[in-house]
Every structure is written in C-alpha cells, then in structure tokens.
C-alpha cells in the first residue's frame, strides 16, 4: 500500500509531502491546479519515462520518493530478494531527475536500473488513465488479465514449462537433421578421408619415434663403426675391461687395514669395472639392432612422409590425425545410423508436442470457463454504471500451431457492444473515453481479489459523465476500495463525496513570478466546501452546500 509521496522540485511543486491511507482517496482541484503533476511525479517514482521538463524552473535536480508499507505480495519479495534488497517494514522507491534529463533510481537506498524500478513499480501500483495503453487498451495483455481473473497463473506456468521442453526437442531434432544433411553432402569426401586414415592407423607420438629411427638408420654405418671401435677399446687383453680387472687384482693384494684410503680406491675401480661391463653389453645390443639394410630406411621414410602429407592435407599436426580419424568415422556413423538417431529425436519431439497439447488444451478449457465467469460478472457491473445497453464478451480463439507459444494456443480478446444489435468489436475502437473508463472500473471491481497490484490509481475515470452515472461510478470505486487501496483524480462531486480521504490540489503565487502547487487534506466543513464548489463553480451557494452535505452524508455518503 502507498503510504507516502515526497516530491521536490517537480514543475510547480517546490516541496511536498503527502500521506496516504487505505480505502478510497480522492484528489480534487480546479483545472490547472497540478493534479496531473502529482500523477507524473508518482509515475516517475514507479519507473515511468522521464522528461527534463518535469524539473522545476531554476532547479538543478528533482527528487520523488514513494513509500510503501504493510504486507507485500510474494512476487514483489521475490524480485527484491533476487537483487539482494532486504525488505523490513517498508519499500522506498526513489528517483532523481537531473537537468540533462538523466535519472538515477534507488530502492531502499540501493541503486537499481530504471527497468527494475519499473518492474517493481508495476507490481505495486497500477495507474489507469483515460487513454491508458496498457490493460484493456492493449489486446496483448488480455490473456494475462484473463489468467489473473481466473487464477490460472500456476497452470499457465505448467504450459510455459511444457512449451520450453517442446522447443528444446524441436531444436535437437532440427540440429540433428542439419548435421545429417551436412554430412551427406560431404559423404564421398568423408569415406575417402576416413579410408585413408584407417589404412594408415596413425598413433599419437608416432612421428617423433619415426624421426628418431630415421636419424639412426641414415647414420647406421657410422654408428656401427663407432660402436665396434668403442667395444674393441673395452674388450681384449689390452682393453679397458682387462686393465680394470688387473688393477683391481693388484689393489686386493695389499694387506687389509694397512692403508685405509686404498680400500676406497678398490671400491671405485670395482664400480668402474661393473659400469664398463654394462656399457659393453649396451654397445653390443645396439650393434646387433643397427640395420644396415637400406630397405628398412626406405620403408620408414615412406610411412613418415605419408603421415605428414595427410596431416598437411587436413591442416592438422600429425599427432592430430588419430582424433581426426575418430571424427570422420563418427560422421560416417551418423550418416549410417541416421534413421535410428533421428527416430529417437523425432519420438522425443512428438511426445513433447503431445504433452504441450494436452496442457494447452486444459488451459484453453479453463480459460473458456474463466471467460464465461468474467463475462457474467462484468456484465452485471455495467447497468449500475449506466452501461445497461452495453455488453462485454471474452473471445478465445485457438491459434494455428505455428503461433503456439509459452502462453498456450489461445488468442484472447475483450470485445464490447455499446448498443443492442451492433457488432462486437475491440474496446479501443468501440468505446468512448468515458465508456472505456467505466469498463475498466467494472473489470477492476470483478478481478480485485485475484491478485496484482494492491494500489490502483484512476485518472479521471469519471470523464464525460455526471449525475446518476457519476454517482454509480463513485459507488463502485468505494466498493473496490474495500478490497484494495484506490486513488482517484476526479472532477465529479458524486465521486469526491465517496472518498474516505479527500485531498485538494491547489496552486498559489509566492512572489511576482513564482507559483507553487500545494496539497491539503480536507475534513468536515472544508470537504463540504470543496464538494459544493465542484457542484456550483466559483459562486458557492447555500443550496450547493446542502447538496454537498446530502452527497457526503446522505444516501451517497
């Protein structure tokens, strides 16, 4: 519920603090007093589009703060929690307008985007103007209005989830079909390339091993000659091995424990002998492995060059050939197994479509039932609003499959006729301004308990009406205010007399060129004088005061 509005430097308002309460609040005042400025300021705090012309002349900055208290709907709490904004006893929406037209937004003193401010503002307050392009004027909102009225939001969410699953299944099937088509176009190339790689059977690290082996084979004769000479230096009577053995034998003839350092020397010679023998074995093994046959080198080079040629052709490193082979064979398998894979995906898409259709059909039935209830209830509201010749009808049409969406398969339209026998048509084209306002009021009375914002603002809902019709509008506004907070800007004394709280908007001059707008809360005689003024004009007569008393305290009070 809106409990306070603080305005600084907005058009004619220098500084203004207004308190609000539950029930019906009426705002009255002479034309040009500044009632629209109040709504512009409130809209600014709720995230409406800003305009530098709202800034008071001579000021650098305008500020509007809207205060909300009491229990907040779960949707509001969820939105704020998602942004990390804590809620205690109140929510403060603050908007700052600079001279260049730029604005900043805050919720409970935490900076937020203008879009998020608008989202919270829409959840807290609904402002209905005579030419409002939201709500009844916009056919795109009719489906959600009907769902709110029928309390179908939860089932709508079920349909939305089913549609998302259907979309996922359709995308998976479509992508698979495209992949198969692409693969089929390249099938000849794939079969040749995969066959080439299958015949090679490349392995990771093979290029390095082949290169190393090639270097050995290219220098086989030199390697064999060098190894034989090395082995000869170590073998035989004059070789290193025999010399080390003789040296070790001589060292062991020295009596033990006579010269300690010789023990270490003997151990070193012993280790050298062991390592020499190991070296001889290694050299001998390598000599036996060295292939002096040129055919082996030719065979090895042929494979190395073949691997490099294929790698160059496919623009991958040689070590990338095994993975490329897997990829080619996988694509070929896709072509060969396409019927099975596409069948599985097609089955999944069919089941998702059947599930969506089942849920959407249920939602269609529920909407049809809710539409009938809405039509019945709303048409009962029209005669008291002096629209006894008018009729309201909810039209629900099934859409073709290509237009199915997460909102279901229905197109919902609100149609009216204002005279018997006239064809039904869209609200925006059939109803006049005053009629549209009363249709909107009737709808709000019907769906007030079904959710949505807890504060509703009407801007001149009584435009173009008077007398008994205006009194009926006042009575319906008062009834609506029993269920939610209602603020009404009005020129009708019959509506003003119904208010639980009466605020008068007036302007006066504070200097030669300075004019400001003020808001005063009227009680008792002040309220009677304002209603009398609305009845009689500038010259307030005793008859007008008596009529005002009758409106306020009589049958209309």
Task: Please tell me which of 279-293, 368-382, 531-545 the model is most confident about, judged by mean pLDDT.
Answer: 368-382
Contact 330, 322 (CB under 8 A): no
pLDDT at 448: 67
**Cα–Cα distance measured from residue 75 to residue 231, given in angstroms and rounded to the nearest whole number:** 90
pLDDT at 556: 43
pLDDT at 151: 85
Secondary structure percentages of the chain, helix, strand, coil, to 5: 60, 20, 25
DSSP 8-state secondary structure symbol assigned to residue 55: B
Separate counts of helices (H) and strands (E) for the chain: 19, 15
**Entry field: residues in the chain:** 557
Please compute the mean of the pLDDT values over residues 111-122 and round it to a whole number: 90
Tokens 């084209």 correspond to what residue? 429
196-240 pLDDT, tens digit per residue, is 898 889 899 988 888 877 777 776 667 767 767 777 777 767 777
pLDDT tops 50 at residue 377: yes
pLDDT at 394: 93
pLDDT tops 90 at residue 347: yes
The structure tokens listed for 255 are 């009596």
Assign 133 a pLDDT band (cuts: 50, 70, 90).
very low
**Ranges of H-type helices in 382-432:** 427-430
Task: Please tell me which of 327-336, 371-380, 514-523 the model is most confident about, judged by mean pLDDT.
Answer: 371-380
> Helix (H, G, I), strand (E, B), or coil: what is residue 81?
helix
pLDDT at 191: 86
pLDDT at 160: 94
pLDDT at 221: 66
The structure tokens listed for 50 are 């800003």
pLDDT at 258: 61
The β-bridge partners of 96 are 63, 104
Whether the predicted model's global pTM rises above the 0.85 cut: no
Contact 10, 430 (CB under 8 A): no
Higher pLDDT, 181 or 155: 155
- Over the chain, what is the mean pLDDT? 83
Please compute the mean of the pLDDT values over residues 116-133 and round it to a whole number: 76
> Helix (H, G, I), strand (E, B), or coil: what is residue 126?
strand
pLDDT at 511: 62
pLDDT tops 80 at residue 513: no
Which residue in 284, 268, 288, 289 sits closest to 235, CA to CA?
Answer: 284
CA distances from 110 to 96, 100, 397 (A): 13, 22, 45
Tell me which of 8-17, 345-354, 355-364, 418-427 is least confident. 418-427
237-256 pLDDT, tens digit per residue, is 777 777 877 787 877 777 76
pLDDT tops 80 at residue 403: yes
pLDDT at 293: 56
Sheet strands side by side (includes 455-459): 125-129, 455-459, 485-489, 24-28, 501-509, 515-522
pLDDT tops 60 at residue 135: no
Which residues touch 107 (CB under 8 Å, ≥6 apart)? Answer: 80, 83, 85, 91, 92, 93, 94, 116, 117, 120
pLDDT tops 60 at residue 126: yes
Which residue in 374, 371, 373 sits closest to 397, CA to CA?
Answer: 371
148-170 pLDDT, tens digit per residue, is 888 898 899 999 999 999 999 99
pLDDT tops 90 at residue 54: no
Please compute the mean of the pLDDT values over residues 56-76 and round it to a whole number: 85
494-507 pLDDT, tens digit per residue, is 888 888 999 988 88
Assign 431 a pLDDT band (cuts: 50, 70, 90).
low
pLDDT at 412: 93
pLDDT at 375: 92
Which residue in 487, 532, 491 sits closest to 32, CA to CA?
Answer: 491
One DSSP character per residue, 361-385 reads HHHHHHHHHHHHHHHHHHHHHTGGG
CA distances from 310 to 185, 187, 301, 349 (A): 21, 18, 14, 41
pLDDT at 156: 92
Which residues touch 537 (CB under 8 Å, ≥6 apart)? Answer: none
Q: Give residue limits of the domains in the chain.
A: 184-338
Tokens 């093994």 correspond to what residue? 285
pLDDT tops 70 at residue 131: no
Please compute the mean of the pLDDT values over residues 299-323 and round it to a whole number: 90
């Amino acid at each position: 519920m809106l409990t306070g509005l603080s305005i600084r430097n907005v058009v004619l308002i220098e500084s203004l603090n207004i308190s609000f309460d539950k029930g019906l609040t009426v705002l009255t005042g002479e034309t040009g007093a500044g009632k629209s400025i109040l709504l512009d300021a409130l809209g600014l705090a709720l995230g409406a589009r800003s305009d530098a012309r709202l800034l008071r002349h001579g000021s650098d900055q305008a500020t509007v703060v809207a205060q909300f208290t009491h229990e907040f709907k779960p949707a509001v709490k969820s939105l704020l929690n998602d942004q990390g904004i804590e809620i205690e006893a109140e929510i403060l929406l603050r908007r700052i307008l600079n001279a260049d037209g730029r604005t900043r937004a805050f919720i409970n003193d935490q900076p937020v985007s203008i879009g998020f401010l608008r989202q919270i503002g829409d959840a807290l307050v609904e402002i209905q103007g005579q030419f409002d392009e939201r709500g009844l004027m916009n056919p795109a909102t009719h489906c959600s209005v009907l769902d709110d009225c029928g309390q179908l939001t939860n089932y709508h969410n079920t349909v939305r989830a089913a549609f998302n699953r259907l979309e996922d299944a359709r995308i998976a099937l479509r992508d698979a079909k495209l992949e198969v088509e692409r693969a089929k176009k390249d099938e000849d190339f794939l079969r040749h390339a995969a066959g080439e790689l299958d015949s090679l059977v490349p392995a990771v690290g093979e290029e390095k091993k082949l290169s190393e082996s090639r270097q050995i084979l290219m220098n086989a004769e030199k390697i064999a000659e060098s190894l034989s000479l090395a082995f000869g230096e170590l073998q035989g009577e004059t070789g290193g091995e025999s010399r080390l053995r003789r040296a070790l034998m001589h060292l062991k003839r020295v009596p033990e424990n006579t010269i300690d350092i010789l023990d270490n020397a003997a151990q070193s010679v012993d280790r050298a002998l062991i390592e020499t023998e190991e070296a001889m074995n290694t050299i001998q093994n390598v000599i036996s492995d060295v292939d002096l046959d040129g055919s082996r080198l030719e065979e090895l080079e042929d494979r190395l060059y073949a691997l490099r040629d294929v790698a160059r052709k496919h623009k991958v490193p040689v070590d990338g050939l095994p993975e490329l082979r897997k990829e080619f064979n996988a694509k070929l398998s896709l072509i060969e197994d396409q019927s099975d894979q596409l069948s599985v995906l097609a089955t999944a898409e069919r089941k998702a479509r059947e599930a969506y259709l089942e849920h959407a059909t249920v939602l269609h039935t529920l909407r049809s039932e809710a539409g009938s209830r809405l039509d019945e209830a709303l048409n009962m509201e029209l005669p008291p609003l002096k629209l006894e010749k008018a009729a309201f009808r909810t039209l629900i049409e099934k859409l073709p499959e290509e237009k199915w969406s997460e909102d279901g398969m229905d197109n919902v339209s609100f149609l009216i006729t204002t005279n018997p026998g006239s064809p039904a048509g869209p609200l925006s084209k059939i109803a006049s301004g005053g009629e549209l306002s009363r249709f909107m009021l009737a709808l709000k009375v019907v769906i007030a308990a079904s959710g949505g914002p807890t504060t509703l603002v009407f801007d001149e809902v009584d435009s173009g009406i008077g007398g008994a019709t205006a009194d009926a509008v006042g009575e319906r506004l008062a009834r609506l205010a029993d269920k939610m907070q209602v603020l009404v800007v009005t020129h009708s004394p019959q509506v003003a007399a119904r208010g639980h709280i009466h605020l008068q908007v007036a302007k006066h001059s504070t200097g030669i060129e300075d004019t400001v707008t003020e808001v005063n809360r009227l009680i008792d005689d002040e309220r009677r004088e304002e209603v009398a003024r609305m009845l009689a004009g500038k010259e307030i007569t005793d008859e007008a005061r008596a009529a005002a008393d009758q409106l306020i305290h009589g049958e209309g009070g």
